[in-house]
A = this chain, B = another copy of it.
Amino acid sequence: MWLRKTMTVAAFLCAVAGGTNMAAADDSKPEYALVIHGGAGTITRDKLTPELEADIRATLNEALSTGQTILSSGGTALDAITATIQVLENSPHFNAGKGAVFTAEGKNELDSSIMDGSDLNAGAVSGVTNVKNPITLARAVMEKSVHVMLQGPGAEKFADENGIERADDAYFYTEYRWNQLQDAKAKQKGPILDHDGKKHSSVEDITNGDYKFGTVGAVARDKHGNLAAGTSTGGMTNKSHGRVGDAPIIGAGTYANNESCAVSATGHGEYFIRATVARNICALMEYAGLSLEDAANRVVKDQLVKMGGDGGIIAVDKDGNTVMPFNTPGMFRGRVTSVMDAEVAIYED
């Protein structure tokens, strides 16, 4: 249950009773809203130690607090999600930036995208190495190039030309991720989807619960009514060199349009690309007149389930409504609005 900061018990009862206390309804429409995710997958209570869970919750709270500070002082949704995602990228706990998984060749290939709902401007990078904050590079592509998407060495050249911070291999080395790769290789596995190893990756017999972290993302509505969305990932452990998932694909992993909503996705990217998940949720609002909740549930809990695509999304609509549906056992997530205290969650219930 999310705590409503400003709604009194009396107002709440009036609202429930269908009373005419409109102040309650007005109070509940937030001036700003921020939602984050740190990946969806087979995350269950038995797989996280209390210490690790506390660490992850602290990082999610820090990310929310960073974005909220920007939004509450009148900053833009774009600035808020950029700073929020940087916090998640700088943590070793998530499969993005510092905590990125290793490819089959022992490298960290990073993907990211960002979109501004006010003008449909967008930026994306795929397959970049040694870039400390891929979300910062995606934003630079959006703002400083005539292109929307740059890949590989070309994207890295652009990073250097625009003063984007690089980091050496040692920065991205985490023993935990390296062991994941060795484990996958030793067992001659195919690519391990970090979000959920159950499907298409033959990891049923992997019981150490090491495949539970994922992509990060953030969506926001600012006080000016503008929406923005961003996503960042390290892809799949032991993935083929050159595989592109949904995270850097505008319309699949990320989409934002002030007319409808802003979405960031996390899950089995191949399915999310084929279903154009982020764009599809916005389209259902724009063309079919669905609410954000109905649109998100139809895509995540119906369409993707039928296709076999595990994962989840976070979204905020033009009125500041927020949703965080997922079809996996858990999703690292959190949200804060001008009328709700920050709260983070991991499991389904």
Contacts and interface: CB of A to CB of B under 8 A. Distances in A.
A276 interface: yes
Contacts of A91: none
A179 interface: no
Number of this chain's copies in the complex: 2
A260 to B, nearest CB: 11
Contact of A240 (B122, B158, B201, B284): B158
Nearest to A116: B274
From DSSP, what is the main secondary structure of chain A's interface residues?
mixed
B145 A240 contact: yes
A157 B244 CA distance: 15
Contacts of A245: 149
A29 to B, nearest CB: 26
Contacts of A151: 126-127, 151-152, 242, 244
A190 interface: yes
A88 to B, nearest CB: 24
Contacts of A120: 274-275, 307
Contact of A157 (B201, B242, B252): B242
Contacts of A153: 241-242
23 contacts: A122-B274, A126-B151, A127-B151, A146-B190, A146-B191, A146-B200, A147-B239, A147-B244, A147-B270, A148-B270, A148-B274, A149-B243, A149-B273, A150-B243, A150-B244, A151-B242, A154-B242, A158-B242, A250-B252, A279-B279, A279-B280, A283-B287, A288-B288
